[in-house]
Amino acid sequence: MEEAVETIAQGLNQDPKKVRLWIMVNRQNKTTRPDQPIMDLRPTVEETLARAVGTSRDSVLRVWAEVADEVDAQGNAVWPTYQSNANGVVVKNDLILIFLKHFDVEQQKLHGIGHIYVSKEKKIEELVPVIAKKMGWGDKLPAGEQLAMWEEIKPSMIEALKAKQSLKAAELQDGDIICFQRVHERKSTGEVLGKIPRLGDRSSEEPKRWDHFDDAKAFYEFLCYKREIRLDPHPRSEKPDLDSFLLTLSAKATYDQLAERVGEHLNVEPTHLRFFTANASTGAPKGAVRRVPNATLSQILNPQNYTQQSLQTKANSLFFEVLDMSLAELDTKKNVKVIWLSEGITREDTFDVLVSKQGHVEDLIQALVKKAQIKDENEAGRIRVYEIHNHKFFRELSPNYPVLSINDYVDVIAERVPEDEIDAPETDFIKAIHFQNDPTRVHGIPFKFLLKEGEVFSETKKRLEKRTGIKGKAFEKIKFALIRRYQKPPTYINDDDILYEEGSPLDELMLGLDHLDRTRVTRNGAEMFLK
């Protein structure tokens, strides 16, 4: 053990005579504290370990190295307690070893500031001048200030110490920890130092922040539950200059407190933020987090109700989105994904459009005009909105159709109505689809097409080229066919046919455009899908 002390002293850059080692023990409350010093340095480390752990299975000798503040004329340490006398007998007086921690309210930090020896018979309040001196605050605290003190029994158990109580009555022993902080005195003096209002130096007029801890006990609780959360902007975010960042929060923080801290960091309104959990395997955003006022950060990141879901949720990671409106207002809106056709059917632009849940298709159109920055109906003509499913025309939506009734499993298409179709009767329209070789292999955007009485198909084709926006060789490669609901195969159309005179009700008849599906590419005999 003598050699061990020399090695440790060398590491501490200290004279071995000034260093002594204390055996650390596991207490019943799962903490590990210094218990008593190793006074006999003759045994080996193995022997000391065996003596220290007794019947326990601990295979490690854990020690705390104490450096003496005082030495005698020969340079030997003078220890306040557990001293060896001339006979080699170790004498223990009534002094106990206490560790001190300072909670700095302004800095919101907890610092270990060393240890002191104090008599068990002394009262808690008698520690004040000792601590003040150690902190360099002078012999005593300024008028109007005092120390609040707690015992750190374990990180999750912090108990206030009474001023008039002795250390012995407070059951303090070697290796215990006292945490202290400076506070303003109460007008009426109280016994319990750990329960003083108006802690810290902030004025009572200043609003209390939920993430500013006024006393050590609350700060300890924060340390027990703190989590560092990574926040990333949602990939679909339309706002530039948003970076990822880290925030340290308590797992007990509520949804609104999370929003407050993130809003503060981003300098945006907390009400205008939406959060998403992250997928554990891909790291990509999952569904939006519902704003439940009492939900804690821990519950948001680890949903308890769905074991599988909690396993799939990435711990300590969230995505955020800065909204143009408050989340409360967003809850009154329905998000509709609209595909805007601007050049026949050849150009598709997709927009997420928010419309009031009480709104109608005419409100959807107005919202699309604003989002897509296109001319409104008064300026550039009426806009048609229709639903498609599996590349087939499903139904056209009238301006007074309720937004809430729009099917979530269809694609919503919007286009400017061609001039010649504006006042045309519905019975003169035929539904058109795209297919490749077989009418069941549909692709592309279906559309409505106006038929004209007496018009031969060679003329109809010219209007189809204009209507679809498919030009040149790509249009020349299209073969046109009539598809009857209960008849296979399709009937291919000749240039001198007149579609208007086909006789079958037009809802039983479809116009088919047979051409290559550009989203499918054949390579080495296998079809590949490009998305």
pTM of the model: 0.65
pLDDT at residue number 89: 73
Q: How far apart are CA 388 and CA 432, in angstroms?
A: 12
Give, in order, the Cα–Cα distances in Å from 401 to each of 83, 365, 381, 385: 92, 12, 19, 10
Q: How far apart are CA 149 and CA 295, in angstroms?
A: 33
- CA angle, 505 then 506 then 507, to 5°: 95
Residue 402 CB contacts under 8 Å (≥ 6 apart), including other chains: 359, 360
pLDDT at residue number 363: 94
Closest CA to 493 of 445, 449, 526, 443: 449
Closest CA to 442 of 477, 507, 490: 490
For residues 276 and 289, the answer to whether their CB atoms sit within 8 Å is: yes
Question: Three-state SS string across 42-57, please?
Answer: CCCHHHHHHHHHCCCC
Q: Indicate the length of the chain as a whole number.
A: 531
Exposure pattern of 283-321 as b/e (b: 16+ CB <10 Å)? eebbeebebeeebbbebbbebeeeeeebebbbeebbbbb
Closest CA to 301 of 359, 312, 5, 1: 312
Stretches where the chain sits below pLDDT 70 are 54-58, 85-88, 186-208, 303-311, 503-507, 520-531
Paired with 261 in beta bridges are none
Any alpha helices (H) in 233-306, and if so which ranges?
Answer: 255-266, 297-301
